[in-house]
Amino acid sequence: MPMINKIQYGMVGGGEGAFIGEIHRMAARLDNHFELVAGAFSAEAERSKRFGTTFGLSKDRCYADYQEMVSKELAREQPIEAVVIVTPNHLHLPIAKVFLKAGIHVICDKPLSAKLEEAHSFAKFARQADKIFAITYNYSGYPLVRHAREIVAQGELGEIRTVQIEYAQDWLSEKLEESGHKQAVWRTDPMQAGDGGCLSDIGTHAFHLACFVSGLKPKAILADLKHFVDGRNVDDNAHILLRFSGGAKGMLWVSQVAPGNENGLRLRIYGSKAGLEWSQENPNYLKLSSLGEAPKVLGRGSPELSAAAAKMTRIPPGHPEGYIEGFANIYNEIAQAIYATRIGKPFPQGVLFPDLDDGIAGMEFIDAALKSNKNNSEWVSLAGND
C-alpha cells in the first residue's frame, strides 16, 4: 500500500524505566510508517510531560492520563490515528475501549487483559468498533517463524504429531519484587497482572507461537503451576500438556526461575514426515529434519525460503536480524492495514498480524490453565476448539 502520510500515534504507559515502551517506539519507527506525537506516559502529570518532551513532543500533547489524551486529541484538527497501550495488564482494556470508541486504532501489548470475563465483554464491543485492534505477539514476526508456518501449512512435515514449546527465563529466581524493581512489582501482583504470573507474561507468547506455526488449536489442557519463590502470589513456573484438534499432542514449559536462561523461547514440531526446530536466541536459523535424511539448517535470507519469509527479511544473510526487527515486522503489517483502511480497501494480500482473536485465545488459555491447576491438574476443555 502507498504510505500516503505517516501514521501519527500516541502512547499510553511506557514511561521512565519501562522496557517494553521503548521497544515499541523503536519497532514503530524502524520502517518510518509511524510518528509518535502524543502520550500519557505516566500516572503523574509532570513525569509524563517531562518524559514526553525528551522525544521532542509538545508539552500540550503530553497528557496526565488517557482520558485527557482522548478528549484533547479529538479536539485537534489532526488527532492521533492510532494508540499504543503499554501499561500493566489490568489497564489494557479500559484504555482500549475509550480509544476505539473515539475511532482510534489500537495496538496493545500482551496479554489482552487480566481477566477472561473482561476480555469477552470487550470483544463484543471491539468487533463492532470497525477499527484495527492488534496485539503484539511479536515473535510471529521473525522471518523463519513465517517460513516454519508455511512449510507446516504446505504439509512438508506430514500429519502433525507433537508440538513442544518452552520459554525459560531466570530473572525472577529471587524475590525481586521486594526490591522495588518496577517490572517485577506489577508482574507479580495479581491485581495488575492477573492471576497468571509467568503464565500470562511469557506463557501466552509461547502458546501463541505454537498455535501460529502449527496451525492447530488446542481442545484441552492440563496444567501444573507453581510459585517456587516463597511468598510470591502468582506462578513462576508452569508445566502444561495440550491436546490439539486432529489428535496432535503438545507440551509447554514456561519458567522465570530457571537459572542460566535469559530468554529461552524454543519451538519444536514433529510430524509423520519431518520435524522442525527454532530458537528465539538464535533466530536466523531453522532446523528441518526429514525422515531418513540428514537434517538441514535453513538460514534467514536463503533463496530457498518461502515468500512469506522473504517478506519479513530486511538485510542479507550473515547480518543478524533479531528482536527489534521481528517486532518491527508486526508494526509494518499493522501500518499496511491502517493505510488500506484509510482508503476503504481490504488489507493487502499477505498482511498478517496478531489480532483480537489471538488476544482472546491467550486469555482462554490462561483461564483454562488456572482452572486445571486449581482442580488438581485435571484436563480442562477449551470452548469452541473441539
Can you give the CATH number for the domain in which 237 is found? 3.30.360.10
On whether both 264 and 115 belong to a single domain, the answer is no
The verdict on residue 272 lying in a domain is: yes
At 318, list the grid cell: 550473515
Task: List the grid coordinates of 346.
Answer: 481490504
Examine the domain organization and report whether 296 and 258 are in the same domain.
yes
Q: What are phi and psi of 120, to 5 degrees?
A: -65, -40
Question: At 377, phi and psi to the nearest 5?
Answer: 55, 50
What torsion do the CA atoms of 231, 236, 239, 242 make, to the nearest 10 degrees?
Answer: 120
> Cell digits for 267?
519451538
253, 242 in Cβ contact below 8 A? no
Regarding whether 254 and 373 lie in a shared domain, the answer is: yes
Q: Do 100 and 38 share a domain, yes or no?
A: yes
**246/7: higher pLDDT:** 7
Residues 6 or more apart whose CB falls under 8 angstroms from that of 212 comprise: 137, 140, 145, 149, 354
Q: What's 39's domain CATH number?
A: 3.40.50.720
Q: State how far Cα 375 lies from the chain centre.
A: 28
Do 35 and 117 reside in the same domain of the chain? yes
Q: Is 159 helix (H, G, I), strand (E, B) or coil?
A: coil
Q: How big is the chain, counted in residues?
A: 386
Say what the pLDDT of residue 384 is: 67
pLDDT band per the 50, 70, 90 thresholds, residue 383 = confident
In a domain, residue 326? The reply is no
Q: Are residues 39 and 111 in the same domain?
A: yes
Residue 16: pLDDT band (50, 70, 90) is confident
Neighbours of 54 (CB within 10 A): 10
Which residue in 129, 163, 175 sits closest to 248, CA to CA? 163
pTM score of the predicted model: 0.95
- β-bridge mates for residue 39, sequence order: 11, 62
Q: How much of the chain, in percent, has pLDDT values that exceed 70?
A: 98
For residues 374 and 46, what is the distance between their CA atoms, to the nearest angstrom? Answer: 44
146 and 215 both lie in a single domain: yes
User: Does residue 75 register a pLDDT over 90?
Assistant: yes
Read off φ and ψ for residue 11, nearest 5 degrees.
-130, 140
Tell whether 163 and 118 lie within a shared domain: no
The Cα 105–Cα 12 span in angstroms is 13
**What's the pLDDT at 17?**
78
354 phi and psi angles, rounded to 5 deg: -65, 140
Looking at the fold, whether 224 and 367 belong to one and the same domain comes out as: yes
User: Domain range spanning residue 94?
Assistant: 7-138+345-353
Query: What is the pairing mode between strands 264-271 and 160-168?
Result: antiparallel
Q: Determine the pLDDT at residue 55.
A: 83
Number of domains the chain contains: 2
pLDDT tens digits, one per residue of 201-246: 999 999 999 999 999 999 999 999 999 999 999 999 999 999 999 8
Q: Would 219 be classed as within a structural domain?
A: yes
**C-beta of residue 41 within 8 angstroms of C-beta of residue 47:** yes
Pick the closest to residue 269 from 353, 343, 210, 189 (CA basis).
Answer: 210
Answer yes or no: is 335 within a domain.
no
> What are the φ and ψ backbone dihedral angles of 221, each rounded to 5 degrees?
-135, 155
pLDDT > 80? residue 385: no
Assess whether 375 and 227 both reside in one domain.
yes
Calculate mean pLDDT across residues 292-309. 95
The pLDDT, as a whole number, for residue 244 is: 97
Instruction: Tell me if residue 184 falls in helix, strand or coil.
Output: helix
Residue 228 lies in a domain: yes
Give yes or no: residues 183 and 299 share one domain: yes
